[in-house]
Structure 1
C-alpha cells in the first residue's frame, strides 16, 4: 500500500521514520517545513495539503495533538476526505474524543472511505523503538489490512472493537497511568515526611506487587526531579479532559480520574505544561509547601 503520514511531533516523527526504515514510501504533510524535513531527507515525498496526501496514497496515518486538529485534517476544507478515493483507509493514531471519532468515521463512510482509530501507549521511547501498544477500533477486515504496518510501529497490537473503541481503551489507559503516577508520588512524599529514604522505599516496592514500569521509570524521575518530557503535562491534561467528558456522556462515576484531572489542572495553572506528566509530584509537593 502507498502510505500517507500526517504528524511530525514527539510521537509522529519516530513512527514515520520507522515506516521509512522498513522500506515503505511515505507521502507526508506538515504545517511547518522544519518538522517534516528530516522525513524528506530520508526519502519521503512532501505535499501541500492533507487532500493531496490522500490523493496519492491508499492509507493515511494521522498523529496530531487534539480532536480539533484531527477533524480539520480529515474533514476540513483541505482535508483528507477531499482527496481520498473510495476504499482509502484513514488511521488516526492521535488521542481524541471517542464520540468525535465515531462522527468522523461516519462522515468518511458516506464517501466510501474507511477509518481505524488506533491510539497508542508507550511514549517517545516506544515510538522510537517500534514498541508501542496500539489499541485499534474499526472494522475487522480493515484492521487486518493495516496490521502489517502496525507491526512496524508496535509490539502489543489489539483490535478492541468498533469505531471509537480504541479511543475508549486509551481513556482507560490514561486513568491507570494517571492514578499510578499519583500513587508513586504519594508514596515518595510519605516516605520523605517520615524521614525514610525514598530511594530505598522505591527499591523495596519494586520487588513486590507494587512494582510497575511507572514506579521504575517515573519513580526515578520523581526522585531526581527530572521532568524533561516525555509525555507532556499539557497532553495528559487534554487526555483527562477527554476521559471526564466521556464519563459525563456515559454517566460513569470516576472519582480517581477526576482527581488526576484536577492535578493536571494544577500543573497547567502553575505553568508546568511543557514538563513530563510525572511532574504530578510537584503538585503534591506544593500542597505541603515542599515544592516550587
Structure 2
C-alpha cells in the first residue's frame, strides 16, 4: 500500500449489488475504508476484510476524507448526503462528497451547493456497466462537479472503472448517465425483439446469437443480457424497479427541456406494467417475457 493511499480515508454508503464490488476494488487498491449500509449484513464481507463499520452516514462522514454513496433512489441520496444524519453533517472542510447513484441532476446540484457552504466539494459520478462492470472494475463513470473535486477523486475512480468522463458542473454527471439510460431503453427493445423473432421463426437461437453478437447488431446488452435471456436467467444485474426510477428521471428532464422521446416513454410504460405484475425485483432482461406476452407467446429458455 502506498503512503499516499494510507493517508486518504475513504467512506462508503450503500453496499448493494454494485457498491459491494466497487468497495472491494478500493480496498484492493490499498485505501482504508469506513462503510455503512442500512442492512448491516450486506456490509459484513467488507468488514471481514478490514473495513470499519459505521452506525450512520454521518459517522462515515466524520471518519472520512472522501465519502462515496451508492444507493437506490433520489430520496435515499438526499437522506444519506444532506439529511440530518447524512454524511455532510459529519464532514470536515476540505473533504469530498461523491454520489455514484443514478439520481436527479437537480438534486446533485443542490447537494453540491449545500456542501460548498461547509467548504466540502459535492460531486456526482454515476456509473454504467452493471453488476459485471462493477465486479470486473470496467465501469464507465460520468463525473459532474468542480474540477478540483474530479482531480481528487480520479485515482479512486480509476480503481473502479475503465473509462472516466468529466462532464462539467454538478449534475452533469447525472445528465450523462440519463442519456445512457435512454440508449439502454432502446437497446433492450432491439435485443429482446430480435431474440423473440429468432425463436418464433424456428432458428437455432444460440447459433444466431453467436453470429449477430459480433456484427453490426452486436452490443454489450446483446452479448451479456442476451445470454441470460437464453438461459432463462432473470436474476437482477440491474433491477426493473431501479430502471423505472431512471426512466422517470429521464422523462422529468424531458419535460423540463420540452423534449419528446417516444422510445423512452414506451419503455417506461412497458416496464411499469411489469412492475405492477410483481416483476420489479427481476433484472431488466426479463423484458423479453413481457414482449412475448403481447403476442400471446411465451419466452422459453434456449437449450445449450
Match of 1:69 in 2: 76
2:124 maps to 117
Instruction: Report whether the alignment pairs 1:82 with 2:89.
Output: yes
Aligned partner of 2:223 in structure 1 is 216
> Where do residues 110-259 of structure 1 align in structure 2 (5 Å cutoff)?
110-259=117-266
User: What are the residue-to-residue correspondences of 1:240-279 with 2, within 5 Å?
Assistant: 240-279=247-286
SS in 2 for 1:81: helix
TM-score, normalised on structure 2? 0.92
Deviation at 1:40, TM superposition (A): 1.1
Taking the aligned partners of 1:265 and 1:78, their CA distance within structure 2 comes to 32
- Tell me, yes or no, if structure 1 residue 22 matches structure 2 residue 40: no
Q: CA RMSD in A?
A: 1.4
Q: Would you say how many aligned residue pairs link Structure 1 and Structure 2?
A: 292
Deviations 1:248-268 (A, max 9, x none): 111111111111111211210
**CA distance in structure 1 between the aligned counterparts of 2:47 and 2:214, rounded to whole angstroms:** 46
Residue 186 of structure 1: CA displacement? 1.1
Residue number in structure 2 paired with 1:288: 295
Note the alpha carbon deviations across 1:42-67, whole angstroms, 9 max, x for none: 11112222112111211100000010
- 1:11 alignment partner, SS class: helix
Shift of 1:277: 0.3
Q: In structure 2, what is the equivalent of residue 104 of structure 1? A: 111
Query: Among 3, 10, 27, which residue is 1:3 paired with?
Result: 10
SS in structure 2 opposite 1:273?
A: coil
Deviations 1:102-140 (A, max 9, x none): 111111112211111000011111111111111111111
- Residue 47 of structure 1 corresponds to which residue in structure 2? 54
Measure the CA separation in 1 of the matches of 2:225 and 2:9. 38
Judged with a 3 Å threshold, the aligned counterparts in structure 2 of structure 1 residues 207 and 122 are, in CA distance, closer, same or farther, namely closer
* Mean Cα deviation higher: 133-142 or 31-40: 31-40
Counterpart-to-counterpart distance in 1, 2:97 and 2:162? 21
Task: Give me the whole-angstrom Cα distance separating, in 1, the residues matched to 2:214 and 2:63.
Answer: 52
- Counterparts of 1:80 and 1:275 in 2: how far apart (Å)? 31
| Structure-2 separation of matches of 1:111 and 1:139 | 15
Report how far residue 210 of structure 1 moved: 1.1
Using structure 1 for the length normalisation, give the TM-score. 0.96
